[in-house]
Structure 1
Amino acid sequence: MLIPPLQNVQTPQRYSLVPRPTPPAPPLVDLLGRRKGLVPFLLGLVGLKSTARLLVTHEEVNCETTTFTGSSVELIPIARVADIHVAEYRPLPKAVLGAFFLFFGASNYFAADLAPLQIIGLLICVLGVALIVTYFLKRRLLIAIFSQSGLPIAVVLESGRIKNRLFGFADLVNIQRTIRMLAEAGGSGVPAPISHENSTPGFAADDVGEDDDAVEEEPDVGWQPPVAEAAPRTSPVEAEQTARRLLDDARRRAKAGDRDGAVKVLRELVEAYPDTTPAEQARNNLAKIGIRM
């Protein structure tokens, strides 16, 4: 896998993430970074900002880059996202340089006979300590979203504070999980809602233009939902996927006229995966027929 070089480092300025995306609510991720360095900072004071903004919606991943020389936009449709790579790097060269300055400054301080030379040695020691502290406190953060064609969208940031909260590697992992969930769900982020037309009240299937008789003749393969005890051992993404399958099964049973079977599946869905989006939809449908859970 080709990882872009750690250049054009951005200082995070704004960050927001929707933990449980429900369309329409774009953007799910909004991450804005300002180009690091004295020159970009000074140019920003006169309106020539150098920024990178990563936006994630239900349909696409969008990276808008602006510099004083121009702008560019990179897009990857959610359905064509192949992989998401996140990484954290320590500035090792700064630590090595800091150790050298610390050793050189200390040697100069203790070996010098004149006060001015000792002061210079002390200042070099302070610089070395500052570089070593930077090594422990600062992180380079990389997020790269790869399309199926292999071309990535990459943003490199430096860990820092955004409105009194620390932006770090854990935030990149949350972004990675959100994009992966959207990609696995085909861009919707949540299963399709149950329709309430042309079927048993509260348990209708989506109207997809198919012949009703053909749907009713669909054989029941006897699929049984997982028991509630298995839910805690699944990841959030797996829980959403399994809950979605349960919701689809309830829809099929309702359209086939098996109202009791649909109610049973929805009950088991709510009990096994209560914190998922399909469970919320199941509760709403059960409430329509007077069943509260």
Structure 2
Amino acid sequence: MAHIDASGVRLYVEETGSGYPIVFVHEFGSDFREWEAQVRYFSRGYRCVTYNARGYPPSDVPDDPAQYGWEFAVSDLLAVMDALKIERAHVVGLSMGGYAALQFGLKHGTRASAIVAAGAGSGSAPSQREAFLKEAPALAQSFRDKGMAAMALEMGHHLTRIQLKYKDPRGWQDFVNHLGDHSAKGMSTTMARYQALRPSLHDFKEQFSRMTVPVLLAVGDEDTHCLETNLMLKATIPGAGLWIAPNTGHAINLEEPADFNREVDGFLSQVERGSWRKGWRNG
């Protein structure tokens, strides 16, 4: 347990296990604690690294809004790896973290041996882009107006998250409790400066078409905000595979931890054996 420096912002980091490194990057509504089922499983054979993004205590919560944004998410991931002297790692990200992992693969492809992007793409689909850009600023203000306790319950009952409550009430309560611990200022500014201002993943199709890092895309079939974009990514990234989990919403690693771990483990094993092949392309 330690803090590392990321351009003057302290990020809280935890390490578990030994072996080849896996770095986990959390989503907007979670923090490093929501990777617990993955850390317990993968730390048996890997060096697992989890950390909290800027704006998520015990990482620093900068006062300056200019210290937030998707570019910082990419550079912070690099800062964590550099501080821990990790030259290359598997990177596993969920939602906001999946966005950062994919962008990391585009910008620092030689540092990622494999990428898992789960539940990535909210607000990216052309059919939903306009509505997302209108809703995000209002949601950002809600964290300041309503406070974290109210927003945690509201988010926990969202149509793409209620599935967790049905499947695992105790796990859902842990999720809501952890979310309630977050900083309203950090969440609000992250939504306003990172989520609302990040480009659509569809804007990077040309770059993704040249991406050489092996990628596993994972999405729940009830995560309606992400399905369209994941189909685009599967069709565009040469080394991408797509796993769609049935009857599953946004927090796929919490809803179906055993299935998630199995799919990720199988993917990483194939990458390490050199047997993860690029998908077939017509023509």
Q: TM-score scaled by structure 1?
A: 0.23
Q: Greater helix percent: which structure?
A: 2
User: So what's the TM-score if we normalise by structure 2?
Assistant: 0.24
Higher strand share: 1
